[in-house]
Structure 1
Amino acid sequence: MKIEQIKEIADAILYEGYLLYPYRRSAIKNRQRWTFGVVYPRSYSSAQGNSEPWSMQTECLLQGDQQTRLTISVRFLHLLLNSVVQRDHQSSLTQGGNHIERQMQDEWEEGVAREVVIPEIRLPEILSQPLLAPIDFPGRYVSTTTTDATVISSSREQQDIYGQVRITAHCVEDAVYRLRVSIENNTPQIGINPDQREAVLLYSFVSTHTILQIEQGQFFSLLDPPEHLRTSAQACQNAHTWPVLIGDVGEHSAILSSPIILYDYPQIAPESMGSFFDGTEIDELLTLRMMTLTEDEKEELRHGDERARAILERTESLSTEQFMKLHGVIRSYECLQPDEEGKNI
Structure 2
Amino acid sequence: MTGAGGRFDAARAVADAVLFEGYVLYPYRASAAKNRMRWQFGVLVPPQWGAGSGEHSFQRTECLMEPRGGARLFAELRFLHARRRTVQRALDGGGFETVAALELADRVLTPWDEGVEERVEIAVPVADLGGAEYAFPFDRPACEETEEVYEGGRLAGRLLCTREEVRGRIVLSAAELPGPYAVRRLTAVVENTADWRPPDGGADRAAALPRALVSAHLMLGLDAGSFLSPTDPPQWAAGAAAACENVHTWPVLAGRDGRADVVLSSPIILEDHPAIAPESPGALYDSLEIDEILALRTSALTDQEKREARGTDARAAAVIDLADTMPPEVLERLHGAVRSLREVTGQPAAPGGTGLLMAPDTPWWNPAADAAVDPDTDRVLVGGRSVGAGSRVALRPGLRRTDAQDLFLHGRSALVEAVLHDVDGGVHLAVTVEGDPGADIRREQGRFLYFQPDEVTVLEDA
Residue 111 of structure 1 is matched in structure 2 by 115
Match of 1:301 in 2: 309
User: Of 48, 52, 55, which residue of structure 2 is paired with 1:52?
Assistant: 55
The 3-state SS of whatever aligns with 2:177 is strand
Call closer, same or farther: CA 1:344–1:127 in 2, change over 3 Å.
farther
Aligned to 1:37: 42
Aligned to 1:246: 254
**1:103–1:181 Cα change, 3 Å:** closer
> Whole-Å Cα distance in 1 between the matches of residues 98 and 244 of structure 2?
58
TM-score by length of 1: 0.88
Letter in 2 for 1:6: A
Counterpart position of 1:61: 64
Q: In the TM superposition, what are the counterparts of 1:103-142 in structure 2 within 5 Å?
A: 103-104=99-100, 106-119=110-123, 121-142=124-145
Q: Deviations over 1:119-178 (max 9, x none)?
A: 2x2112111011111221112112467898895553100001111100001011341110
Q: Secondary structure at the match of 1:128?
A: coil
CA contact (8 A) 1:60 1:178 kept: yes
Cα distance change on mapping 1:344 and 1:175 into 2, 3 Å: farther
Further displaced range: 64-73 or 284-293: 64-73
For the pair shown, which has the larger CA radius of gyration, 1 or 2?
Answer: 2
Q: Which runs of 5+ in 2 are unaligned?
A: 1-5, 92-96, 102-109, 345-357, 368-442, 447-462
| Residue pair 1:58, 1:239 contacting (<8 A) in 2 also | yes
Letter in 1 for 2:325: S
Match of 1:176 in 2: 183
Question: Do the aligned partners of residues 176 and 194 (structure 1) sit closer, same or farther apart at CA in structure 2, a change above 3 Å counting?
Answer: farther
Tell me the distance in 2 between the aligned counterparts of 1:248 and 1:153. 44
Contact 1:86–1:104 under 8 Å retained in 2: no
Aligned to 1:22, the other structure's residue is in SS state coil
- State the Cα deviation string for residues 270-291 of structure 1 (Å, max 9, x = none): 0111011124411111110011
Please tell me whether residue 331 in structure 1 is matched to residue 343 in structure 2: no
The CA RMSD measured in Å over matched residues stands at 2.5
How many residues are paired up? 330
Distance in 2 of aligned mates of 1:103 and 1:271 = 41
Counterpart position of 1:317: 325
Whether 2:37 is the aligned partner of 1:18: answer: no
> In the alignment, which of 75, 83, 95 is matched to residue 78 of structure 2?
75
Distance 2:135 2:170 in 1: 6
Structure 1 counterpart of 2:174, which letter? A
Q: Structure 1 vs Structure 2: percent identity of aligned residues?
A: 36
Mapped to 2, the partners of 1:291 and 1:150 lie a distance apart of: 31
2:113 partner letter: E
Are the equivalent residues in 2 in contact too, given 1:162–1:187 (CA < 8 A)? Answer: yes
Q: Secondary structure at the match of 2:318?
A: helix
Within the candidate set 210, 226, 244, 1:202 is matched to 210
AA partner of residue 46 (structure 2): P
| Residues 10, 254 of structure 2: 8 Å contact kept | no
Q: Which amino acid aligns with 1:181?
A: A
Higher RCO (CA < 8 A, seq sep 6+): 1
Distance apart, 1:35 and its partner CA = 0.6
Q: CA deviation at 1:305?
A: 0.1
Secondary structure of residue in 2 paired with 1:303: helix
Give the aligned partner of residue 244 of structure 2: 236
TM-score (norm 2): 0.67
Question: Which stretch of structure 1 is more off in the superposition, 299-308 or 70-79?
Answer: 299-308
Determine the C-alpha separation between the residues in 2 that align with 1:340 and 1:216.
Answer: 48
Deviates more, 1:266-275 or 1:38-47: 38-47
1:189 CA displacement: 1.6
